[in-house]
Amino acid sequence: MQFIDTHIHLQDFKSNCATDIINQAQNQGVKRLICVSSVAADWAKVAEMATKFAPFVIPAFGLHPWYVEEAEDNWAQKLESYLQAFPKALIGECGLDKLKNPNFEKQGEVFAQQIDLAKKYARPLIIHAVKAEEWLNEFWKKLPESFVFHSFTSSAELAQKVIKNGGLLGFNFSLLRSKNMEKLLSALPADKILLETDGPYQGPTKGEEVLPTMLPELLVEIAAIRGEDKEALAMRIYQNSEEFINFGK
Ligand SMILES: [Zn+2]
């Protein structure tokens, strides 16, 4: 089986070094990683990873909704220059999080700017959305052509909305803790699914760094819940990931 980890923060690992993570991942059939940023200070680190480990590591540059308040005034120009320097880069992660911060204004503004950049440069957008269903209403029609709702654990209804608007859903181990899991997964077309670790953060064991080597385990769980052949599902998800990465190229 082959895998692509569509969401990992390589720069944030404490107990594992990037070279080891990548070598071990390759031994488990992992073919690529999308290395995602959260704050502007990540961008240089993500750029360095993508350069050092090209083409295995694909960069994503963006501003996470938790950190919009602390962004410098010229963040968007800086982000744009990273997109120009890395034609294969995606944008993310970005989005809306009402749980962490009930103040919509700044989050909405920063999200809209990243949506515009995704359209301008034809890049896929990696979206973080938590308790934001209401806020999302003004964005559905504005979203770019290619996007994923990452770390998805929300309702089956929201999943259908994402799909209807042309998006994909990214799942990590947090899905297996969600009470929506069965209803959500059983109603989902296989061509809308991506896998991710959100490493080092969303592992099966709290407090332990999750590694891309654990993707096969996640796939097996999801295939079992869906009552689907794991090889076939792995192949389908791999293709989805390839198409996502290659959008606009
Ligand atoms: Zn993340």
How far, in Å, from the CA of 9 to the mean position of ligand 1?
Answer: 7
According to the model, what pLDDT value does residue 187 have? 86
Quote the ligand 1 centre to 235 CA distance (angstroms).
24
Predicted local confidence at residue 5, as pLDDT: 98
Give residue 229 CA to ligand 1 midpoint distance, Å. Answer: 28
Q: Side-chain half-sphere of 64: how many Cα atoms within 13 Å?
A: 16
Q: How many domains does the chain have?
A: 1
- Sites in the chain below the pLDDT cut of 70: none
| Prediction pTM value | 0.97
Comparing CA positions, the residue from 2, 4, 32 lying closest to residue 171 is 4
- In angstroms, the CA 112 to CA 165 distance is 16
Q: Please tell me the distance between residue 128's alpha carbon and the centre of ligand 1 in angstroms.
A: 8
What is the domain extent for residue 7? 3-246
Q: Distance, CA 109 to ligand 1 centroid (Å)?
A: 20
Q: How many angstroms is it from 181 CA to the middle of ligand 1?
A: 20
| Alpha carbon of 95 to ligand 1 centroid (Å) | 11
pLDDT confidence of residue 180: 83
CATH classification of the domain holding 117: 3.20.20.140
Neighbours of ion ligand 1 (CB under 5 A): 198
CA 93 – ligand 1 centroid, Å? 7
d(CA 113, CA 93) in angstroms, rounded, equals 13
